[in-house]
Amino acid sequence: MEKLPNLTEILINTFRTLINQFVDFVPKLIGAIVVLFIGVLVARVSSIVVKNVLGRVGFDKIGDKLNEIDFIKQLQTEIKLSEIVAKVLYYFILLVFITAATETLGVKAISDMVLSLVNFIPKVIAAAIMLQIGVLVADAMKKAVISICQTFRIASGKLLGMIVFFFFLIITIISALGQAGINTELLESSFNLLIGGIIFAFAAGYGYASRDVMANILSSFYSKNKFSEGQTIQIDDVKGVITKMDNTSITLKTDAATSVFPLQALQSKRVDIFPELTDNVTEQLLK
């Protein structure tokens, strides 16, 4: 007959093992708490100092430029870069001390997880800087497109500017996500297909709708050396003095009325040029 195990001895050995492990763990726990406390203190002091220094050197002026962008205004958020940098620094230092605290405890799984977060923060910072620069470049491109459209009197300049803005913004976001270590292959391929379809549809529709405007703009380059204000010309049955000539139209003043023609009429219709009138007659017509 087999001998039954001594339950008392088993219980005593179990409790002895637990007590020994607890005695060994308590100093590690106290050490981890001390390290974590020091980390919180160092992180707070460092973040306050960095925030004050960046605020005094004018680092927030970059954030003010971002706040002036229409897209940022619609989000109803105020970007203050000194506070953002201070917060990122605070959590970065805190994570470093948390890593040291978990290593003191000897828990490898937690240490590896926190260490991966610490290594991820520099990538996030680089992605944030890339995104900030991209937003500024996208806004500058939008303003340039609107200005060019206004110069050539092209309709829907603001719409074109917004399309350019969001195009560059999406490209920047995808690039920033890639910098942060996120796989963006599927997103890039979907975006390329979407943008390709939108550009083709927009180019076809807008090109058809603005063909007359583009014809007038091209006519202005062809006609600017042949016609000038003060000349007397006749377009079809309308004879008058040129009082104004811009990139898309020409204005003739007759004895009865003022007529405005698109510039392409100078190429598509018969135009007669008459000898210049005397200065008195020209001044009376131009008034």
E strands, 110-266, where? 232-235, 238-245, 249-253, 258-262
Predicted structure pTM score = 0.56
Q: Which residue has the higher pLDDT, 241 or 112?
A: 241
Residue 272 has phi, psi (to 5 degrees) of -105, 135
Confidence label for 92 from pLDDT (cuts 50, 70 and 90): confident
- Which of 95, 101, 87, 97 shows the shortest CA–CA distance to 114? 95
Whether 45 shows a pLDDT value over 90: the answer reads yes
| pLDDT at residue 248 is higher than 80 | no
Q: Do residues 154 and 210 touch, judged by C-beta distance below 8 A? A: yes
CATH architecture of 227-286: Roll (2.30)
pLDDT for res 42: 92
Q: Where in the chain is the domain with CATH 2.30.30.60?
A: 227-286
Percent of the chain with pLDDT over 70: 80
Query: Beta strand pairing status for 238-245 and 249-253?
Result: antiparallel
